[in-house]
Structure 1
Amino acid sequence: MFQNLTERLGSTLKNLSGKGRLTEDNIKDTLREVRMALLEADVALPVVKDFIAKVKERAVGIEVSKSLQPGQMFIKIVQSELESVMGEANEGLNLAATPPAVVMMAGLQGAGKTTSVGKLSKFLREREKKKVMVVSADVYRPAAIKQLQTLAEEVQVEFFPSSAMQRPIDIVEAAIDHAKKQFIDVLLVDTAGRLAVDTEMMDEIKALHAAVKPVETLFVVDAMTGQDAANTAKAFNEALPLTGVILTKADGDARGGAALSVKHITGKPIKFLGMGEKLDALEPFHPERVASRILGMGDVLSLIEEVERKVDKDKAQRLAKKVQKGKGFDLQDFKEQLEQMKNMGGMMSLMDKLPGMGGMSAKIKEQANDKQFVQMEAIINSMTPGERARPDVIKGSRKKRIAAGSGTQIQDVNRLLKQFTQMQKMMKKMGGGNSKKMMRQMQGMMPPGGGMPGGMPGGGMMPPGLGGFKRK
């Protein structure tokens, strides 16, 4: 998300370096470029105009402090205004109600409402420790009820059955009654997709809202529709008292126009981002973290939370102990590290959150794609347990067999072995308690463009669970 905007802003903001003072003249061109970057990112025009006016007002005439360069001061102002336009801080769900707290989902057809209900129920059950029940009031779409039932079973929350022969109001009222008896904390209501122009359908959801009085009414919208997402949310907000927005398919949106337009146009905060197809791919929306990511500064807090949540701590501890005892790091360990990275959304997801990675060239980003992980895993899977434990025995004929078995070339096997050797050296230094020195060496290995040492995906990035991340 935001790749295009990050690249444009990164190159634009460099133009201010070396200036002793921010004046209207020397930021004029930069503001024009920022304006163009935002418009190209499909940010709504009123949002762009307001944003540029506020940045200009704050930036012109500011004396740059001795500790900061003008470019840095300007970036700080841009970051602050980006946070402001997206909503200052994360706004979670307000579930302070007599149980069950009813959360209604509304949105267009195909926006991802039903999947979002599944993701949100998993989020509430696992991270908020809530007892959750879901119900489908979508009596129009074939198989919508069955789809939600399947999702509920997968994320292990209670499902309240309904049928296409019932009225939506009757379904939800029965679900609320059942939820009270079962001491359910949160009831998530999936509704039928509808268009704002469809008067009959809009009247139906208004009546449903009035009858069940949900504590949260979330509008689910596809991020890839850009500023149209914000306009659609505005139309729904005029019909329904929305409390927030879930932006789906945000991982496929390279522009980011929807995220930067929704709050300004609707006055309602984005509460969650859907970042993929998996049912755990739902992130609380933190404007300050997203602003940092847009400006190429990474999002270390989200990365730390992801590591804590998704890394298999037992495996990580076993590997750490093994390395500390000097027993070495073998190809089976290397494969497990690749699997851990895949669990965390893959290399691009990780790189997106690492500081300094926003300005990477497209070529380097392409090299670090997740297809390489699949290929590397296939190569290791084609090895015998003995070869994984002792990679030094892998010579000519073995390499041919491994390449043939994994559908790759001998040079791919050689590349993997080279990358493994680099990781093995890192682990050896960690085992010797020399991790600070190792981190300095890793930074020295990084080429000026922010590339990866030795052509390795992720380069000197610490393996998940071994990077020493600690919450401050």
Structure 2
Amino acid sequence: MLENLTDRMSKALRNLRGIGKLTEENMAEALKEVRTALLSADVHFKVARQFVEDVKAAAMGQEVLASVTPGQQIVKIINDELVKLLGEGAGQLLDKKPLRIMLVGLHGSGKTTTSAKLAKRLAKEGYRPALVGCDIYRPAAIDQLETLCRQENFRCYTDRNSKDVPKIGRAGMEWAKEQDANLIIFDTAGRLQIDHDLIEEVKKLRDKIVPDEVLLVADAALGQEAVNVAQHFNDAVHLTGIVLTKLDGDARGGAALSMKTITGVPIKFMGTGEKMDDFEIFHADRMAQRILGMGDVVSLVEKAQENIDEKEAQRLAEKMQRAEFDFEDFLAQMRQVKKMGSIGSLMKMMPGMSGIEIGDAEENRLKQTEAIILSMTVQERRKPMILNASRRKRIADGSGTSVRDVNQLIKQFGQMRKMMKMMGGSKGRKLMKKFGGMGGGKGGMPDLSGLGGGGKGLPPGLGL
């Protein structure tokens, strides 16, 4: 979503970094580019204007530190002001049990999916969730909610006969208490646009269930219209937070930068994909760094800690050091990395990598590599040296690839094993120690760059 904004802001920052001496003239020119970048990304014009004025005021009121250049100091000021614009700190819900959360929003914003994603995230924090279906208008809404709850083993309350939404909400809340749930999420109906009936319904439901949190689920692709929607809902039901969805799409990102300022309501969560785990706490400082092309290493590390089994990573690292790493191990590593998300989404979290495009071709190479390995027998994966011409032909046919593809993967795998053998010696251990045990330390992941073709510009360990 943020690529367009990031590209434009990066260009503006490059010009700023080159400033040797700050003057009103050269700063005005550079900040004009920043303002243009914001406006082109659908940021509200009042927000863009105020942002530039705040940056200018902060810059003119500071003395340049001896340890940095004037341009670097301006970049730091822009980062700080961007954090303020997005809402300082991380999005936090009320710390209480039981916790009642009502989700509101327009039709198609992703409320039902978000309710299940939110329940899954909070379940990891010790909550016992129950979801209540209050959308009686969309035919598939109840079916979708029940399917998601079965998939994640959540409690679910629905009533296909009643048309009284406040009554359904109250009955669902009482039922959830009987089920010993300490997190109750109410999935409400939406409309294609704000109307009187929608607002009255959510008001009555709110009065009946008295939620602790009222979260607006807003589609980031709506641009400035999302800001207007947020303002309407806030005036009607007093929002406590916003969930931005579809941040993996091609929206220009302006909604994220405008909502907090216009409504005064913090963004608490964001949906970053279609999978149930593609749901993150909104950190203003991390989002600011992503927008400015600085990556988000903290979120990347958190994803790794959450999805990668440390004991398995340690086992793979030790096998690598003994040069015993085989295709079984490689497949295990691929699957651990895949749990963290697509390679493209991981790349965007790395400093300086936001401009590198990871398209379908690179993702398909990973799938092709996995298909080739899965077409091998267990014995072939553990002993690649037995892969003769007839076996390679069978593997190619079984994986829907060519013998050339299979040969290339085996050749690259052999080269990698030779390198592992070299690194496993005394000289290699000294070198690994010198560089902090990269790729082979405790919990480290082996460098498998290049295997399966590798994406252009991919860093070691993610080329696969």
TM-score calculated relative to the size of structure 2: 0.88
In the alignment, the residues of structure 2 paired with residue 440 and residue 26 of structure 1 have an alpha-carbon distance, to the nearest angstrom, of 45
User: Are the aligned partners of 2:136 and 2:163 in contact in 1 as well (CA < 8 Å)?
Assistant: yes
Letter in 1 for 2:93: L
Q: Does 1:388 align with 2:385?
A: no
In the alignment, the residues of structure 2 paired with residue 379 and residue 101 of structure 1 have an alpha-carbon distance, to the nearest angstrom, of 48
Judged with a 3 Å threshold, the aligned counterparts in structure 2 of structure 1 residues 30 and 404 are, in CA distance, closer, same or farther, namely farther
- 1:212-258 per-residue CA deviation (whole Å, 9 max, x = no partner) reads 11110000111122222122111111111111111111111452212
Letter in 1 for 2:180: F
Q: Which runs of 5+ in 2 are unaligned?
A: 440-448
- Trace 1:171-250 onto structure 2 (pairs within 5 A): 171-194=168-191, 197-250=194-247
- The corresponding residue for 2:10 is 10
- The corresponding residue for 1:341 is 337
Equivalent position to 1:117, from 115, 118, 121: 115
Judged with a 3 Å threshold, the aligned counterparts in structure 2 of structure 1 residues 43 and 18 are, in CA distance, closer, same or farther, namely closer
Equivalent position to 2:409, from 388, 391, 416: 416
In the alignment, the residues of structure 1 paired with residue 39 and residue 119 of structure 2 have an alpha-carbon distance, to the nearest angstrom, of 35
Q: Which runs of 5+ in 1 are unaligned?
A: 443-451, 465-472
- The corresponding residue for 1:377 is 370
Between the two proteins, what is the percent identity of the paired residues?
47
Deviation at 1:342, TM superposition (A): 1.3
- The corresponding residue for 1:467 is none
- The corresponding residue for 1:469 is none
Helix, strand or coil: the match of 1:251? coil
Deviation at 1:209, TM superposition (A): 0.9
Worse-matched range after superposition: 30-39 or 178-187: 178-187
User: Are the aligned partners of 1:23 and 1:61 in contact in 2 as well (CA < 8 Å)?
Assistant: no
In the alignment, the residues of structure 2 paired with residue 233 and residue 298 of structure 1 have an alpha-carbon distance, to the nearest angstrom, of 28
In the alignment, the residues of structure 2 paired with residue 310 and residue 28 of structure 1 have an alpha-carbon distance, to the nearest angstrom, of 46
Judged with a 3 Å threshold, the aligned counterparts in structure 2 of structure 1 residues 456 and 241 are, in CA distance, closer, same or farther, namely same
Helix, strand or coil: the match of 2:275? coil
Helix, strand or coil: the match of 1:369? helix
Worse-matched range after superposition: 168-177 or 263-272: 168-177
User: Are the aligned partners of 2:55 and 2:78 in contact in 1 as well (CA < 8 Å)?
Assistant: yes
In the alignment, the residues of structure 2 paired with residue 233 and residue 282 of structure 1 have an alpha-carbon distance, to the nearest angstrom, of 20
User: Are the aligned partners of 1:348 and 1:369 in contact in 2 as well (CA < 8 Å)?
Assistant: no
Letter in 2 for 1:337: Q
Deviation at 1:66, TM superposition (A): 2.7
Letter in 2 for 1:46: K
- The corresponding residue for 2:154 is 157
User: Are the aligned partners of 1:21 and 1:64 in contact in 2 as well (CA < 8 Å)?
Assistant: no
In the alignment, the residues of structure 2 paired with residue 44 and residue 209 of structure 1 have an alpha-carbon distance, to the nearest angstrom, of 30
Judged with a 3 Å threshold, the aligned counterparts in structure 2 of structure 1 residues 293 and 197 are, in CA distance, closer, same or farther, namely closer
Q: Does 1:296 align with 2:289?
A: no
In the alignment, the residues of structure 2 paired with residue 425 and residue 294 of structure 1 have an alpha-carbon distance, to the nearest angstrom, of 41
Q: Does 1:405 align with 2:398?
A: yes
- Trace 1:328-367 onto structure 2 (pairs within 5 A): 328-360=324-356, 362=357, 365-366=358-359
User: Are the aligned partners of 2:323 and 2:420 in contact in 1 as well (CA < 8 Å)?
Assistant: no
Helix, strand or coil: the match of 1:305? helix
- The corresponding residue for 2:70 is 70
Helix, strand or coil: the match of 2:248? helix
Judged with a 3 Å threshold, the aligned counterparts in structure 2 of structure 1 residues 197 and 57 are, in CA distance, closer, same or farther, namely same
- 1:392-425 per-residue CA deviation (whole Å, 9 max, x = no partner) reads 5546555444334322344533543455356546
Across the aligned residues of Structure 1 and Structure 2, the Cα RMSD in angstroms comes to 2.7
In the alignment, the residues of structure 1 paired with residue 150 and residue 10 of structure 2 have an alpha-carbon distance, to the nearest angstrom, of 45
- The corresponding residue for 2:445 is none
Letter in 2 for 1:335: L
Deviation at 1:72, TM superposition (A): 1.9
- Trace 1:261-272 onto structure 2 (pairs within 5 A): 261-272=258-269
- 1:275-324 per-residue CA deviation (whole Å, 9 max, x = no partner) reads 11111111000010111111121111111111111113342233233334
- 1:21-59 per-residue CA deviation (whole Å, 9 max, x = no partner) reads 222222222212212221222222111111111112222
Deviation at 1:115, TM superposition (A): 0.4
Letter in 2 for 1:358: S
In the alignment, the residues of structure 1 paired with residue 215 and residue 169 of structure 2 have an alpha-carbon distance, to the nearest angstrom, of 16
User: Are the aligned partners of 1:399 and 1:413 in contact in 2 as well (CA < 8 Å)?
Assistant: yes
Worse-matched range after superposition: 427-436 or 245-254: 427-436
Deviation at 1:267, TM superposition (A): 1.0
User: Are the aligned partners of 1:104 and 1:214 in contact in 2 as well (CA < 8 Å)?
Assistant: yes
Deviation at 1:82, TM superposition (A): 1.1
Deviation at 1:377, TM superposition (A): 0.8
User: Are the aligned partners of 2:111 and 2:187 in contact in 1 as well (CA < 8 Å)?
Assistant: yes
In the alignment, the residues of structure 1 paired with residue 438 and residue 169 of structure 2 have an alpha-carbon distance, to the nearest angstrom, of 60
User: Are the aligned partners of 2:127 and 2:182 in contact in 1 as well (CA < 8 Å)?
Assistant: yes
In the alignment, the residues of structure 2 paired with residue 160 and residue 355 of structure 1 have an alpha-carbon distance, to the nearest angstrom, of 44
Judged with a 3 Å threshold, the aligned counterparts in structure 2 of structure 1 residues 422 and 46 are, in CA distance, closer, same or farther, namely farther
Letter in 2 for 1:352: K
TM-score calculated relative to the size of structure 1: 0.87
Deviation at 1:438, TM superposition (A): 5.7
Judged with a 3 Å threshold, the aligned counterparts in structure 2 of structure 1 residues 172 and 244 are, in CA distance, closer, same or farther, namely same
Q: Does 1:42 align with 2:42?
A: yes
User: Are the aligned partners of 1:221 and 1:229 in contact in 2 as well (CA < 8 Å)?
Assistant: yes
Letter in 1 for 2:116: G
Equivalent position to 1:105, from 103, 106, 125: 103
- The corresponding residue for 1:435 is 432
Worse-matched range after superposition: 397-406 or 241-250: 397-406
In the alignment, the residues of structure 2 paired with residue 68 and residue 395 of structure 1 have an alpha-carbon distance, to the nearest angstrom, of 60
In the alignment, the residues of structure 2 paired with residue 76 and residue 246 of structure 1 have an alpha-carbon distance, to the nearest angstrom, of 27
Corresponding residue pairs, total: 448
- 1:407-459 per-residue CA deviation (whole Å, 9 max, x = no partner) reads 234453354345535654665537854435567999xxxxxxxxx87963474
In the alignment, the residues of structure 2 paired with residue 262 and residue 405 of structure 1 have an alpha-carbon distance, to the nearest angstrom, of 51
User: Are the aligned partners of 1:196 and 1:202 in contact in 2 as well (CA < 8 Å)?
Assistant: no
In the alignment, the residues of structure 2 paired with residue 195 and residue 33 of structure 1 have an alpha-carbon distance, to the nearest angstrom, of 35
Letter in 2 for 1:310: N
In the alignment, the residues of structure 2 paired with residue 57 and residue 76 of structure 1 have an alpha-carbon distance, to the nearest angstrom, of 14
